[in-house]
Amino acid sequence: MPDVTFYPEWILALILGAAVGSFLNVVIHRLPLGESVVHPRSRCPSCHTMIAWYDNLPILSWLLLRGRCRACGVSISPRYLLVEVFTAMIALALCVRFGLTLAFALYFAFACALLAVAYIDLDHQIIPDRISLPGIVVGLAFSVTGGWPAMTDALAGALLGGGILLAVAWTYERLTGVEGMGGGDVKLLALIGAFLGWRGVLLTLLLGSLLGSAIGVTLMLARGADRKLAIPFGPFLSLGALATLFWGDSIVRWYISYAGWAGY
């Protein structure tokens, strides 16, 4: 008989992930505006009709209403759906790896913080301290309880992550007289280091920079070279950190074996 004992957990993780994704949409929308993330209930941004609970079910309601407000028919961005689906998939992937454990809860919280930061930075070019600072504390506290990475590694990761970007920002400002990188990026990379350790933070920075350069060059080519084009770094760091969380070990192993094969 096939072993089916895992499946209830996975479904629970999917439902939990979709529900938390729905909450993340509220956080992404309201936190940068300084509004409460619990009150009031959600309203249609266009006609301001309060959204009934049955029209506010994660993923399902958006699909059933085909992305429109029931009252006025204004279209609701597919981004709401995307955030909910993405959060549900992250919860499932973490549950498959860790089960419903403390590690699951903390890495899920970490991933949610990264998602929220990515979208808030994209929309407003800020990374709220209200996410990054408590995140650093939680990451370091987790490592003290015997989580992964080990305490010294988490501390080294936070210091290295914050330190590298601080040095880059300081040097850039010294050379150009222009503030190129916000303090938000510094605290974000410290948060990432607290959860992924010093190797993870370096890989995140590498992946984030590669991705950011690729997208940046593409945008500049598409729009014509505009040196003032400001692209927030937070979304790329967040994506790099998620990739490191899920595939960091494989990427490093692949790199080492490739370098070994190439004779380095």
Q: Which residues of this protein are in contact with Zn ion, per CB under 5 A?
A: 44, 46-47, 69, 71-72
70 vs 124, which CB is nearer to Zn ion?
Answer: 70
Provide the minimum distance between the beta carbon of 65 and Zn ion in the complex, in angstroms, as a whole number: 10
Q: Is the dihedral of CA 174, 178, 180, 181 positive or negative?
A: positive
31 vs 44, which CB is nearer to Zn ion?
Answer: 44
What is the Cα–Cα distance from 37 to 41, expressed in whole angstroms? 9
Check: CB of residue 112 under 8 Å from CB of residue 87: yes
59 vs 69, which CB is nearer to Zn ion?
Answer: 69
How far out from the chain centre does Cα 66 lie? 26
Check: CB of residue 233 under 8 Å from CB of residue 181: yes
Provide the minimum distance between the beta carbon of 47 and Zn ion in the complex, in angstroms, as a whole number: 3
44 vs 196, which CB is nearer to Zn ion?
Answer: 44
What is the Cα–Cα distance from 176 to 232, expressed in whole angstroms? 19
Provide the minimum distance between the beta carbon of 75 and Zn ion in the complex, in angstroms, as a whole number: 10
Provide the minimum distance between the beta carbon of 135 and Zn ion in the complex, in angstroms, as a whole number: 34
Residues 6 or more apart whose Cβ sits within 8 Å of residue 22: 56, 58, 84
- DSSP letters, 41-87, are --B-TTT-PBPPGGG--TTHHHHHTTTB-TTT-PBPPHHHHHHHHHH
Provide the minimum distance between the beta carbon of 57 and Zn ion in the complex, in angstroms, as a whole number: 17
The first and second tokens of residue 101, run together, are: 């454990």
Residue type, 26: V
47 vs 63, which CB is nearer to Zn ion?
Answer: 47
Provide the minimum distance between the beta carbon of 64 and Zn ion in the complex, in angstroms, as a whole number: 15
30 vs 124, which CB is nearer to Zn ion?
Answer: 30
C-beta atoms surrounding 97 within 10 Å: 13
72 vs 256, which CB is nearer to Zn ion?
Answer: 72
Provide the minimum distance between the beta carbon of 44 and Zn ion in the complex, in angstroms, as a whole number: 3
